[in-house]
Amino acid sequence: MDIINIEEAINEFWSDNPLNIVKDLNSLQIFDKPLIGVASAYDPLFEQLKEETAVGPHHMSPQEWLPGSQSVISYFLPFTEEVRTANRRMGQPAREWLYGRIEGQQYNNALCQFLVRWFTAAGYEAVGPSVDKRFQVTNKRSNWSERHVAFIAGLGTLSLSCSIITKRGSAGRLGSVIVNTLLESTPRYYTEKDENCTKCGACILRCPPLAINENGKNHAVCSDYLDRVLARFSPRYGCGKCQTGVPCETKIPDKARIGKSTAI
């Protein structure tokens, strides 16, 4: 078992699954080919996530989710050009993005569940925290942060808007699975938690509720705005303006800073 086997399974799921197509929008494809990373379940950065300056003490470690866990597979699902292009215009979130956020999350959940079944069929134990009954969000903070897990798994670093900037950009969704088999970890090509972000400020200008400034994002302001979007577009909601129409939409922007810290 290695990452190549996992990539083949994920790519087969990606290419064949009808949940990645929105028939209501002229058979719009939601996600492009996934990006995959692996972290050791014993990486010390997972313990750092329990610190108040990171996520908080409520964040569960891989061993708390799955005793005997060895590895964590993290994946990034980049939105297709059609989804991203539609959301570049200012104002309300594009219909394509709203479908990408909600129907796209249904696809994401299905992929996570598929991976759990795939590992189980191969004789291993596996848990997908985001689809596990123990997953909780309290005061807008979850007990498993996909963004921080992606950082640990070598997929990318955080941005000023608190998105993850990967080699495929920031416009997309994240997921992960914890397994009890030892896999080779993906090397982190960065050291600083926000190394891929140039602090250009483009996301500040793109944010409808003005939740982002040069110091970061006010999650409460962002959340309140999403509640208003839900009230208007129920059962869908979303925004994503800070992930589209910005230099990090599809790549690591030029002149990304080189950092020295290894803390999250």
Q: What is the pLDDT of residues 36-51, one digit of tens each?
A: 999 999 999 999 999 9
Q: What pLDDT, on the 0 to 100 scale, is given for residue 260?
A: 42
Beta carbons of 40 and 130 less than 8 angstroms apart:
no
pLDDT digits 0-9 by tens, 90-143: 999 999 999 999 999 999 999 999 999 999 999 999 999 999 999 998 877 899
**pLDDT above 50: residue 230:** yes
**pLDDT above 80: residue 261:** no
**pLDDT above 50: residue 60:** yes
pLDDT digits 0-9 by tens, 143-173: 999 999 999 999 999 999 999 999 999 999 9
**pLDDT above 70: residue 259:** no
pLDDT digits 0-9 by tens, 13-26: 998 899 999 999 99
Mean pLDDT score, 246-262 = 73
Beta carbons of 152 and 39 less than 8 angstroms apart:
yes
Angle 90-91-94 from CA coordinates, rounded to 5°: 90
**pLDDT above 90: residue 242:** yes
Q: Where are the domains of the chain?
A: 3-243
Residues 6+ apart with CB under 8 A from 53: none
pLDDT digits 0-9 by tens, 165-211: 999 999 999 999 999 999 999 999 999 999 999 999 999 999 999 99
Report pTM.
0.93
Angstrom distance (rounded) from CA 259 to CA 261? 6
For tokens 């005061």, the residue is 139
Mean pLDDT score, 242-246 = 97
